Amino acid sequence: MSPQDTHIPPTKKAYNTTVKSLKNNPALFIPFIIFAILEFISLIIIYLAPRMPLRLIFGPAIRTFWGERFLHYPLNFLLLPKLTSLARMGLTILLGSLLTGMAVAITLDIYHKKQIKLGTAFKTALKKYIYLFSVVFLFTLLFYLLVKIFTIGLIKYFIAGHRRLLFLGIGIWLGPILIIINFLLALFVQSAFIYAIPLIIIEKEKLIKAIIKSFALFKKLFVPTLILVGLPMLLYIPIIILQYKSAILMSRLFPEAILLVSILVLVISSLVIDPIVTISTTFLYLLNKEKI
């Protein structure tokens, strides 16, 4: 490390290294491209779910949980964002965990200026799959439970007869404020777990130790971590608002506009946000490894 590098803020240094690595090593995108393809396939399946023969498979579940009307045009498009979100959640736990581990292994090779070997990186992640799966499952479960607790708590508060909370009505709380709360929950929960996978892949840590160390690292690298995780996630906000206003979007444009928004979400989340967050935080860990 040159003397000049010591004066560069850790966040900027991690971002600079990430941009340079992605530019010079396109193979680093491969785990994220694989996940995007899998997510796109799931989106197409969900889009075609109300039609035969997929209706025979998915129809009963949709009918049971959401109602018969969501199996018919155009209301099937209103359910699309929720179903794609659930599908992404499942894919992230089952396969995204493995592919994230692969991306971290590739990032480690780039950091040490080694030749990238995709097969070796995949095998490294596969050996740790149970740990990787568990980390992502616990992170997702915690985030899901916290969102549910806040949402149900707000709904029960207003159902109980209260007209306002902190001088604001139900429309504000279950609209923009709930979006902000969900964003902050995602930011802090993901930031707390973000170093667990690098610790498992790079340091060969066991599951519990990796999670505990990740929490400790988040505390030590609090501001840089929040910036590296939070800045890319800001791209989610306009998309979340679009999805929240699905009914208005459908009425003012056309039902298929919701499908186009879902594709946009897929591209931004899987090919922009996920690579930047995963790679930049891995570099932040590697660049500060000796200091922490």
With pLDDT > 90 as the criterion, what percentage of the chain qualifies?
60
Q: Which SS3 state, helix, strand or coil, does residue 30 take?
A: helix
Q: Which SS3 state, helix, strand or coil, does residue 168 take?
A: strand
Each residue's pLDDT tens digit, 100-132: 999 999 999 999 999 999 999 999 999 999 999
- pLDDT score of 255 more than 80: no
- pLDDT score of 280 more than 90: yes
Range of the domain at 253: 3-287
Token couple for 246: 């699905």
Give the C-alpha separation, 218 to 154, whole Å.
29
Give the C-alpha separation, 288 to 292, whole Å.
6
**Residues forming beta bridges with residue 168, ordered by sequence position:** 165
Give the C-alpha separation, 92 to 107, whole Å.
19
**How far from the centroid of its chain's Cα atoms is residue 206's Cα?**
23
- Supply the pTM of this predicted model: 0.89
16 in any annotated domain: yes
Query: H helices of the chain, where?
Result: 10-24, 30-48, 54-65, 76-91, 97-111, 118-127, 129-159, 170-172, 178-193, 196-202, 207-220, 222-233, 236-244, 246-252, 256-268, 274-287
255 in any annotated domain: yes
275 in any annotated domain: yes
Give the C-alpha separation, 136 to 130, whole Å.
10
Give the C-alpha separation, 173 to 150, whole Å.
11
**Mean pLDDT in residue range 175-182:** 84
**CA dihedral defined by 237, 241, 246, 247, rounded to 10 degrees?**
180
Token couple for 215: 């929490």
Domains of the chain: total: 1
Q: How confident is the model at residue 260 (pLDDT cuts 50, 70, 90)?
A: confident
The contacts of residue 65 (CB under 8 Å, 6+ apart) are none
242 in any annotated domain: yes
292 in any annotated domain: no
